[in-house]
Amino acid sequence: MSTKTIKKPTSLDDTTLIDFYRQMALLRVFEERCAEQYMLGKIRGFVHLYIGQEAVAVGAISVLQKDDYVTTHYRDHGHALARGLTPNSVMAELFGKSTGCSKGMGGSMHLFDAPSNFAGGYAIVAGHLPLTNGLAFAFKYNNDKRLVATFFGDGALNEGEAHEVMNMAALWKLPVIFVCENNQYGMGIPLEDSMANPKLTEMAKAYGMPSAKVDGMNVLAVRDATEAAVKHVRAGNGPYFLEFSTYRFRGHSMADPVLYRTKEEEGKYRKLDPILTFGEWLISNKKATQDQLDKINLAIEYIVEESVKFADESPFPKIDDLYKNIYAETT
Amino acid sequence: MAELSYREAMAKALREGLVEDERMFIIGEDIGPYGGPYAVTAGFLDEFGPKRIVESPIAESAMVGIGTGSAMAGLRPVVEIMTINFSLLALDQIVNHAAKIRYMSGGQFTVPLIVRTVTGGGAGLAATHSQNLEGWYASVPGLKVVIPATPHDALGLFRSVRKETDPIMFIEHILLYSTRGEVKDDYYEIPIGKADVKREGKDFSIIAYSRMVNVSIAAADALSKEGIGVEVVDLRSLRPWDRDTVIQSVRKTGRALVVEEVWQTGGFGGEIASAIQHEAFDDLDGPVARLGGLDVPTPYSMSLERLVAPTEATVIEAIRKELAR
C-alpha cells in the first residue's frame, strides 16, 4: 500500500468534490444491493463486486471526455456507473432483463453502452486489452484527439496479451491510458506469489512508457494522476501506465469465501476506506457538512432501491431475441 | 476475361478495397517491404503508404485486437495472419471477442473485421504449419467463414466480404496462390453462403471446398472417361453454408462423397454428411461417404506427407468403392 490517505489541497470546487463522494457512495450502495440480490437468486452467474475500489473508477473517469472510450474488466459495475450509465440499466442487465444496458445478453461481466462510449466490460483476463489498442488505433488513424482508458487488474499483467499490447501501444504511440487496479490479488493469489517482479511500473518502463504509482484509495490522487496521463496521451505522446494501489473488501466474486487472506489485513485496509476517509476529509476541510452527506446517502439508497424495483419489474428478453444480433442480418 | 492467378486475384481484391474505401487498411506481418509472405501485397506499401499498409510486430493476438477495436470504432480492417496455424495465438481475440461483441452488447457495437489467413498442407512444412483449421472457426456463431477455391471466386467473394459488418475469416490455401483461372473483367460479386456447382454430373455428387475442389474436379474428369458422371459442388463458404445447393445436387445424383483436407475426425464435412443423410435420405442410393485427411500430424518427409491429404487417386478410389457396394 503506498500512502496513508493524504489529502492535499485541491483546486476543485465544492460541488465537484461532493459529487465525487456521491458517485463513490452510489457505487458502494449499488454493489451492496447486488450482493443482496445475488443471494436472493435474482442475479445469476458470477458477480464481482467493486467494493473498496470506488476511488479508482470515479477519480479516473472524471477527467475523461464524454467521447473518449472506456473499456474494462469483468469487475465493471463501478466503471459503468462512473461513466454515467444509469443504475436502472445496469441493475436490469444484472437481472438479465431486456431493459439492461446490454439488453440482457451480457450480464454482470459484459456491460456495454454505446451512447456513453462505454465499449465494454470483458470477462477474459487481459482479453480486452488488444481490442482497446484497436479503438485507439482508429482514433490515431482518423487524426482524432480522443483516447481510450482501459482498466484491468494486476493479474492481467501475467497474461501474454498484456505484453503484446503494451509493446504495440508504445511502438505506435497509441492514445491509451492503461489503468491497473492493483488490488493485491489475482483471484486468490497474492501479487508477490504470481509476479517475478511485483513492481508494476517497471513493466511500463520496459516499453518506454511513462507511468505513475498512486494511492488508489484517494479519489483526488487518482483524479490528479489520471489528469496528468490524459494530458500526456491527448497531446499525441503515446500511452501512459497508471498503477492504483487499492483493495477489494469483498471476495473475488460472490462465490469466493476469501480463505487466502487474514482478517487483520482486511481490517487494515478497511481503515483506508475511500468513501469514509473522503467523507471525513470533506467535513474536516469544510467542503461539506455531515448533514449534506447524510442526505446524499439517503438519496442514493432510494435511487438504488428504485433500480432494483425497475429491474424486477422489467421484462425478460423474448424468445425471438435468442437469434438477434448474432449477425447484421439477424438484428 | 483475363486469366489471373489466385494471388493476383487477391491482390486485385485488396487493391480495390483500399482504393474505394478510406476506412480500409491492412495489418499483418511482413506485408510491407517484404511484400507479404505469399507476395499478395507486393508493392502495396509504395502504393498506399504505411498508414494503410501496417507492418505488425509478430503478435497475432494484439494484431487481431487492432482489427477488432478499430472495426468497433468504424474502420474496415483487414488483418492478415500469415498462416491459420498462427491464428491459434489469436484465438481469444477471434472467438472470445470479435465473434461475441455484437451479441453481448445487444447490437450496440459491431465488428466489421476481415481476417485473411492461409490454410493447408502439402508444402513440406511439417505438422505445425500444415493444418486446416477453418472448420473450427465455422462452428462459432458470430463468425462467417469464406473459403474460395478459384481466382474468380476469391475476387468475387472478397468484394462481398468487405461490405459486411460482421467478423469474417477469409481462408486462402497455400497451394492455390499460383493456380490460374478466368476472371471476368466486368464487376461482379459472389454472395457469401452460396455454393457453386463447379462441374455437373448425374451419377455422384462430391461436396468439397478450397483446394479439394480442384482435386475433386480432376477425379471427376478422369471418371467421366469411364462414363461416370460426377458433380462437384464447391461450398465456397462454411458459415453460413449452402444446404439448398448441396441437397439439390444429392437429390439429383442419389450419391454423395464429402471431400476435405482436414483430419476426418471432427472435420466440418461431418456436418455436411449429417445434413445430407437427414435431409435427402429418401433420395440416397447409398450411404453418404466421407474422405478427409489422415488422422496424423502432417509429417515432414515428402514420402509420407503425400499420403496425408486426399488426392485425385484416393477420390477416384473412394467413389469406385461406393459404386461397388
| CATH code for the part of the protein at B196-323 | 3.40.50.920
Whether A327 and chain B come into contact, CB under 8 Å, resolves to yes
Q: Which of A157, A228, A231, A160 is nearest to A191 (CA)?
A: A157
Beta strands in chain A (DSSP E): 69-72, 118-121, 148-153, 176-182, 185-186, 189-190, 211-215, 240-245
Query: What residues of chain B lie within 8 A of the CB of A113, using their CB?
Result: 108
Asked whether residue A273 carries a pLDDT value surpassing 70, the answer given is: yes
Asked whether residue B302 carries a pLDDT value surpassing 50, the answer given is: yes
Whether B130 and chain A come into contact, CB under 8 Å, resolves to no
Q: In chain A, what percentage of residues exceed pLDDT 90? A: 92
How confident is the model at residue B1, as a pLDDT?
Answer: 85
**Minimal Cα distance from B165: which residue of A?**
A328
Whole-Å CA distances, B118 to B81, B86, B146, B167, B169: 7, 10, 12, 17, 10
Q: Which CATH class is domain A14-206+218-307?
A: alpha beta
User: Which one of B25, B62, B104 has the shortest CB-CB distance to A130?
Assistant: B62
Whether A112 and chain B come into contact, CB under 8 Å, resolves to yes
DSSP code of residue B225 = T
Whole-Å CA distances, A13 to A18, A227, A276, B36: 9, 16, 20, 57
How confident is the model at residue A10, as a pLDDT?
Answer: 80
Please state the domain extents for chain B.
2-183, 196-323
Tell me how far apart the alpha carbons of residues A193 and B229 are, in angstroms, rounded to a whole number: 68
Specify the CATH number for B2-183; select among 3.30.1490.20, 3.30.470.10, 3.40.50.80, 3.40.50.970.
3.40.50.970
Tell me how far apart the alpha carbons of residues A76 and A152 are, in angstroms, rounded to a whole number: 10
Best of B103, B114, B140 to substitute, by most chain A Cβ atoms within 10 angstroms, is: B103
Residue-wise pLDDT for A2-61, tens only, equals 444 455 668 899 999 999 999 999 999 999 999 999 999 999 999 999 999 999 999 999
Residue positions of B annotated with a catalytic role: 60, 129
A64-73, B34-43, B133-142: which has the minimum mean pLDDT? B34-43
Mean pLDDT of B261-285: 97
Query: What residues of chain A lie within 8 A of the CB of B64, using their CB?
Result: 130
